[in-house]
Amino acid sequence: MNSHHTFFTIFLVKTKTIPANNPTNNPRKIVGLRGYKLEVVANEEGETERFSQLLEEYSKAPEVTRDRLYLDALQSVLTNSTKIMVDVEGGNNLLYLPLEKIMEENKKQDRNNLRRADDE
């Protein structure tokens, strides 16, 4: 074990991050934990940079940036959704479009059309 690993092990044990009797108290696991820490820090630094850029754009055009953020959020939430609810302004009715059922019906029709084409 080199001195760097020893120092890191002692540091983790002394700061009670990893107890001395913990089975993860070996150099390979510690290097893995250290790599994880570097990954998390790099991700957070990237997020911080992204936020700083977003803040700069927001200061230039708040309404446009707000709308873009709203649309991005909607897209990320609705991407995997198969249901759509449509609210008509001034109306009491809420329209529900069961896209998963419509898609299933389209697949069945496509399969039937292929079978018919094969039969001919």
The C-alpha atoms of residue 104 and residue 82 are separated, in whole angstroms, by: 11
Which pLDDT value is given to residue 1?
45
Mean pLDDT for each 10-residue chunk of the chain (120 residues)? 49 52 67 86 92 93 93 85 72 72 84 79
Instruction: State residue 21's pLDDT score.
Output: 59
In this structure, are residues 25 and 19 in contact, taking their beta carbons and an 8 Å threshold?
yes
Residues in the chain: 120
Which residue do the tokens 């001395």 mark? 20
